[in-house]
Structure 1
Amino acid sequence: MKLSPQSQRFFTGLLLGLILVTTIGAFIPLLAQPNSSGRSEALDGAALSSTNVARHKNPLALTLNPSPKVGRGTSSYSLPFSQFWEKGLGDEGGSGSRPMPSSPHMASSPQILAQTNPLPGDIDGYWAAGCINELARRGAIVLNDLQPAPPDGPSLDLARFYPNAPATWEVVTTMLNRSFPTEAAYGGASTLETALGLASPVNMLYTFPAEYADPGRAITRGEAVTAIAAKAQLPYVARANELLRESLEDGDRVPPYAVEGTAAVLAANALVSSENPRRANSFAPITRGEVAALVCAASPDLQLRVTIAPARHAVPATLAAQAEPTEELRGVWLTNIDSEVLFSRDELAAGIQRLKAMNINTLYPVVWNMGYTQYPSAVAERYLGRSRRLWPGENPPFEAAQGDRDMLQELIELAHAADMAVIPWFEFGFMAPGDYPLHETRPEWFTQRRDGTKDIPMGNEVFTWMNPFHPQTRGLLLGMIDEILANYDVEGVQVDDHLGLPVDMGYDPYTVGLYRQEHGGSAPPDDENDAEWMRWRADKISQFMAEVRQVIDLRQPGGILSVSPNPYPFSYMKYLQDWPTWEANGMLDEIIVQIYRNDLERFVWELNKPATAEARKSTATSIGLLSGLKNRPTDMDLLTEQLEAVRDRGYAGVSYFFYQSLWSWSNEPLAEREQQFQTSFSQTAARP
């Protein structure tokens, strides 16, 4: 039968099509042969089983454009998850029917990932299947690690994730490193921090118990959540404990090491669960599938976040105004630098009334600064040849105008009338100005470095250090402390971070001789950071503090010994000030740790330092806040957040450095700043 031209063209095309299909079929096995590493080349990701093809409607999408990075902070999570789902972007338990952008953290090409990474065949019906599949596309999850891989490479039909298997640290760190940026770990990082490549100690794993970080150990939900918060660099939450208590049924049972991380994940709308999202379940073992879900929820990549349904998310509570404690230290340091509040009785009266309106209950006036006393001192007259210098430098007309005025006595009278405690502050400790006349008259009082140098540049100033081991310099400070307790009605005395010694000092002849005397003639090590040499000097300073304690107990039983140090271990490593030992030995009545930080992250991290957290268990421990410097104002919003963080973590209170910066050099209008302070301290509070 003769075919029509149309029929001839049809059958010719059909025949050519069959030939083409046969030819391609012959080449595909060659293209899919394993490479030298045993892994198939790009087309092995195309060999999907019928089950995977049904589940992943478009698995071979050729173009996956990387999504832009999403910034840190709550703004990254500002759009409610329900709105993503209303727009049709969520697909929990399903395939993700549209091509999803690759995470910006993935190192491999998104096009290659879409074609080479096998999808697990054991997650059908799993509550976070959409999340796991998307992580699998990106190569972010661990597959086939609990059974031997097939000899011809990871077949998609045989790929297994084991979502219900316990998650170990090894699996979790691998998933996190594949999902978030990884850097070289900071010096001194713990085993776990090193495994996660955390570049800064300011992370939520810093206080995680090191012995818990065994790679093969199955971990708890609280541990995994904390690791995710650290790796994702989620921001700290000022009112972390309150947020947990108000948002979760078991929020008050989150272990201490997991509080910051759990609160951060919760605040980021990333705390997800298959059963009851309102429970942290911190002590429950966590599965691999649950870890994957948390990774998706915490990712900065929107296409990962929307794979978890809104119903699986814990909802962070909206917190009411923070309650004010009825007992709280509310202190302010009064200085004679960049402030005139101490320079006349009228200035003092006005300042104290201003602080009274703010419900401040404790004043720390400087009495020992720049090598001189700010009150008339017979001890200073005897040792230094000068009884008082109120101005921070030489200003004869000013001093003459002061006459026989006693600033400290005036302040005590005015403050006590306003129900405020007065604790004189020996600000300079053993530090001295570079141009101190005693360098000429008493050179043996000063210490030095190994090379003989003595100058310590600080900003635009140069300072030196009196020898804390020399009996006469020790006698000078002890004499002034005894004098104030004997002659003034004060609640106690305070020393600060200058009651120590720079670690590179101590090579003066007196100290070297003392060390030789106690070490069989051996000289101090050349290495200033030698552990025994550091401990010897620190112990001598601790002995001096025991003498201060003895003077107080003899002169004014019940008097307060307050210390305002730097955070430990910085205080020890840089200034040989071992204040945790002072506290442990019962020397201290009050501690105010100076945490002068201009961001909430580092501030809260410092709050959780072990020494600081431990001290508050037995000694009233408060936090020093930097209200500003002349060339460095502190925003009122940050100060308010820092106060909230201090209260939330159960510290005894705060003290502001310093009076003038409460009001001056601020970025906000004065009225706004005063209003915020009055709101923060709207009620009176007793000293702890």
Structure 2
Amino acid sequence: MYKSVLVVLSVFLLACQSTETKKETPQYVLGYNEPVRGVWLTNVASDAMFSPENVAEAVEKCYNLGINTIFVVTWNKAHTMYRSSIMEEWTGFEIDPELDPENTGRDPLQEVIDEARKYGIKVIAWFEFGFSSSYLEDGGILIERNPHWASLDVNGNLTTKNNFEWMNALDTEVQDFMLSLILEVVNNYDVDGIQGDDRLPAMPSEGGYNPAIIEAYKEAHFGQAPPEYHKDYNWVQWRAEILNDFMKRIYEEVKAADPDCIVSMSPSIFPWAKEEYLQDWPTWVNFGYVDMIVPQVYRRDIDAYTRTLEAQLRYVLPEKMYQFYPGLLIRVGDEQPSEEFLTQMLEANRRLGFEGEVHFFYEGLHKYEDILKSFYKK
């Protein structure tokens, strides 16, 4: 009994000491000496990336509002927002033609980097579309030219979810393609990091019924075929582990190219992310496959937001919590949270120990300039 009391007392004292140490020496994400306060910069529902002048204006606004990180889209709808020799080879398009319609050699990613450097803002290349091949295009150019890349559902059809069509994220050739784009950016651009989201690494749990995947599953399960129910626990787990391995590979190959490059992911909330998109992101964090995790805590009232955020924290080891930043939804279509609701979300973050967050997306910032300046004042 006496020994037990001593053990409990020792643990308590260590915990107190640990808490004091953390307060004295806060730990930040790789490359940071302050909290992450970021925004996603898109090429959809925004003209910010469509001219050098617009890029400069957007970056300056971010600086004036206290934003220190721009997550800039680099991969969307089978096009890159940078000059890509890989995509030129695969599709004939070196860059999204809408961003450089006259083919002048314009490079929006480089423009964002150049402008951000003037203000000390970090730039993270965001591979928004991930393993999604297209949106309402029956697979688009990637599946048209590589039919074997398609993810198949239980009926043998192209995997489609919420109007997004999908490549087979479990296929090594598809994984190699995706990783080649990531490394192309890491090797050719002075980015501070790369980021995937709810589509990288990811695939709808409805997918993966490709012949080669079925055979691999059978080999691992004594000849038993995958269940027809796509959310069967073991079937979900088996496919999620393949994506876990790919996440580890992304991390290792990015670090081999540039040890200082931040590897960030912004998945959906857990466990929904795993059940619906095979994203077992707590494993990525707790096993050291990421430097930053930004779960999309997208909710429409403060009670739901706080409850969801608190639930996410249960999946992260205490020593990894410094890598965690909430993703906030500040605009979707024409819908935006009220100023009161945004303030409540920021206050909830601070109350839970988060001094930063990442906002989706840039065009939503205009409504909240005074609020953000107040919270992010230097």
TM-score by length of 2: 0.86
From 150, 166, 186, the counterpart of 1:485: 186
Q: Distance in 2 between matches of 1:494 and 1:390?
A: 23
* Structure 2 residue matching 1:609: 3-state secondary structure: helix
Cα contact 1:332–1:655 (8 A) shared by 2: yes
Q: Which amino acid in 2 is paired with 1:447?
A: S
Q: Distance in 1 between matches of 2:341 and 2:228?
A: 44
1:171-570 alignment runs, 5 A limit? 327-389=34-96, 391=98, 399-433=100-134, 434-435=136-137, 436-454=140-158, 456=160, 458=162, 462-499=163-200, 500-570=202-272
Cα contact 1:621–1:653 (8 A) shared by 2: no
Q: Distance in 2 between matches of 1:652 and 1:357?
A: 18
Per-residue Cα deviation, 1:45-90 (whole angstroms, up to 9, x for no partner)? xxxxxxxxxxxxxxxxxxxxxxxxxxxxxxxxxxxxxxxxxxxxxx
From 538, 560, 584, the counterpart of 2:286: 584
Per-residue Cα deviation, 1:198-232 (whole angstroms, up to 9, x for no partner)? xxxxxxxxxxxxxxxxxxxxxxxxxxxxxxxxxxx
Cα contact 2:193–2:261 (8 A) shared by 1: yes
Q: Which amino acid in 2 is paired with 1:620?
A: Q
Higher relative contact order (CA 8 A, sep 6+): 2
Shift of 1:611: 4.5
Of Structure 1 and Structure 2, the greater helix share is in 2
Judged with a 3 Å threshold, the aligned counterparts in structure 2 of structure 1 residues 383 and 547 are, in CA distance, closer, same or farther, namely farther
Per-residue Cα deviation, 1:388-421 (whole angstroms, up to 9, x for no partner)? 1153xxxxxx642352101111110110111100
Q: Distance in 2 between matches of 1:380 and 1:367?
A: 12
Where does residue 346 of structure 2 map in the other structure? Answer: 643
Q: Distance in 1 between matches of 2:49 and 2:281?
A: 30
Cα contact 1:568–1:611 (8 A) shared by 2: no
Per-residue Cα deviation, 1:442-491 (whole angstroms, up to 9, x for no partner)? 11101121112325353xxx221110121221111110111111111111
Judged with a 3 Å threshold, the aligned counterparts in structure 2 of structure 1 residues 625 and 452 are, in CA distance, closer, same or farther, namely same
Q: Does 1:678 align with 2:355?
A: no
Shift of 1:659: 0.4
1:97-176 alignment runs, 5 A limit? none
Cα contact 2:267–2:294 (8 A) shared by 1: yes
Cα contact 1:432–1:466 (8 A) shared by 2: yes
Cα contact 1:373–1:390 (8 A) shared by 2: no
Q: Distance in 1 between matches of 2:294 and 2:176?
A: 25
Larger Rg: 1
* Structure 1 residue matching 2:327: 3-state secondary structure: strand
Shift of 1:517: 3.5
Where does residue 115 of structure 1 map in the other structure? Answer: none
Q: Distance in 1 between matches of 2:184 and 2:159?
A: 30
* Structure 1 residue matching 2:237: 3-state secondary structure: helix
* Structure 1 residue matching 2:195: 3-state secondary structure: strand
* Structure 1 residue matching 2:325: 3-state secondary structure: strand
Shift of 1:584: 1.3
Shift of 1:651: 2.3
From 297, 304, 311, the counterpart of 1:602: 304
* Structure 2 residue matching 1:594: 3-state secondary structure: coil
Q: Distance in 2 between matches of 1:542 and 1:390?
A: 34
Q: Which amino acid in 2 is paired with 1:477?
A: M
Q: Distance in 1 between matches of 2:236 and 2:281?
A: 14
Cα contact 1:607–1:613 (8 A) shared by 2: no
Where does residue 92 of structure 1 map in the other structure? Answer: none
Cα contact 1:377–1:387 (8 A) shared by 2: yes
Per-residue Cα deviation, 1:503-554 (whole angstroms, up to 9, x for no partner)? 1111122322322333343321222122211111000000101110111111
Q: Which amino acid in 2 is paired with 1:682?
A: K
Q: Which amino acid in 2 is paired with 1:444?
A: H
Cα contact 2:100–2:106 (8 A) shared by 1: no
Shift of 1:385: 3.1
Judged with a 3 Å threshold, the aligned counterparts in structure 2 of structure 1 residues 475 and 409 are, in CA distance, closer, same or farther, namely same
Where does residue 220 of structure 1 map in the other structure? Answer: none
Q: Which amino acid in 1 is paired with 2:158?
A: K
Cα contact 1:567–1:612 (8 A) shared by 2: no
1:45-64 alignment runs, 5 A limit? none
Q: Which amino acid in 2 is paired with 1:369?
A: N
Shift of 1:565: 1.0
Q: Which amino acid in 1 is paired with 2:68?
A: N
TM-score by length of 1: 0.48
Q: Which amino acid in 2 is paired with 1:599?
A: D
Shift of 1:336: 0.3
* Structure 1 residue matching 2:151: 3-state secondary structure: coil
Where does residue 655 of structure 1 map in the other structure? Answer: 358
Q: Does 1:633 align with 2:336?
A: yes
Q: Distance in 2 between matches of 1:361 and 1:550?
A: 26
Aligned-pair Cα RMSD in Å: 1.9
Q: Which amino acid in 2 is paired with 1:496?
A: D
Aligned-residue identity in percent: 33
Judged with a 3 Å threshold, the aligned counterparts in structure 2 of structure 1 residues 659 and 613 are, in CA distance, closer, same or farther, namely same
Cα contact 1:412–1:422 (8 A) shared by 2: yes
Per-residue Cα deviation, 1:589-609 (whole angstroms, up to 9, x for no partner)? 101111111100000001111
Cα contact 1:628–1:657 (8 A) shared by 2: yes
Q: Distance in 2 between matches of 1:492 and 1:413?
A: 15
